[in-house]
Amino acid sequence: MRNVLKTTTVAATAAGLALTLAACGSSGSSSGAPADPNKALTVVASPTPHAQILQYVKDNLAAKAGLKLDIKVVNDYVTPNTSVQDGSADANYFQHVPYLDEFNKKQGTSIVSVGTVHLEPLGLYSKKVKAVADLGNGAQVAIPNDATNEGRALKLLAANNVITLKSGAGTTATVQDIASNPKNLKFKELEAAQLPRALADVDAAVVNGNYALDSGLKPATDAILLEKADGNPYANILAVKKGHENDERVKKLIDLLHSDEVKKYITDTFQGSVVTAS
């Protein structure tokens, strides 16, 4: 199924991880009372680059700012939001606004962005061809199956004249919105985390930046197509449950994530595979 919010395997993983997070507890308050500024801020994050960036903040900047951080690493795109919604975590750092909007709409959650941090350019990768022009007629291309990243993948291909999309196709475009497909590409819709492993079995795959990095791919050099950063709506955000935007710990964290030190860390560490958005 194309929508990660309806994928049984992901949901099962999310349920298990949510129980773990609930057992750990959160330092926030689900009642709306002000959180204790002296308690650790629990942030759920994807491993790379999100948790890596948070770890840099924790190790180098947080203590001086009077902030305690508790970083919980998860590998799916559901647990971070359900954990923030149910109060077992204070914030998450893994998603972009189009995905969050779709999640809130589908799940009835009330999670909001408190600021953008970085962009992981989505890329097309292949172990079989060196350029998109080399894809043969009927080539199989794997793409993410969640609502926003599928549309994002198709827009990447359309922006590079591989396909064209119907007029008005938005961020949740699907393969049904393809207007023309000159190479007769066959699209295989997979959970985003599976895409790097699928590269051996397909002609090419559009992979999210964090999963590309996790699998050892270097978007800046290995992708045969890569999103442009300018004007890109898919910058990753720090998010909290609505009403918690003014938590002093959250304010401290977003300020640190926007600091010159973090911007330099991102630039030096990821060398174009992750770019700052603030």
Overall pTM surpassing 0.85 (yes/no): no
26-57: per-residue pLDDT in tens?
555 544 556 788 899 999 999 999 999 999 99
DSSP per position, 217-229: --HHHH-SEE---
121-154: per-residue pLDDT in tens?
899 999 999 999 999 999 999 999 987 789 999 9
The side-by-side arrangement of strands in the sheet containing 123-125 is 186-190, 140-144, 204-207, 123-125, 225-226
Distances (CA, A) of 74 to 15, 43, 55, 250, 272: 12, 11, 14, 20, 24
Read off the tokens for 198: 């699928």
With H, G, I as helix, E, B as strand and everything else as coil, classify residue 141: strand
Asked whether the predicted pLDDT for residue 106 surpasses 70, the reply is yes
The CATH number that domain 4-121+233-276 falls under is 3.40.190.10
Highest averaged pLDDT of the listed ranges 12-16, 33-37, 99-103: 99-103
Rg (CA), the chain: 19
**CB contact at 8 A, 203 and 140:** yes
The CATH number that domain 123-226 falls under is 3.40.190.10
Q: Which of 5-19, 82-96, 121-135, 245-259 has the lowest mean pLDDT?
A: 5-19
With H, G, I as helix, E, B as strand and everything else as coil, classify residue 143: strand
143-192: per-residue pLDDT in tens?
999 877 899 999 999 999 999 999 999 888 999 999 999 999 999 999 99
Residues sharing a CB contact under 8 Å with residue 120, sequence separation 6 or more, in sequence order: 49, 208, 209, 210, 212, 213, 219, 236, 273, 274
CATH 3.40.190.10 segments of the chain: 4-121+233-276, 123-226
Q: Please tell me which residue, 227 or 26, carries the higher pLDDT value.
A: 227
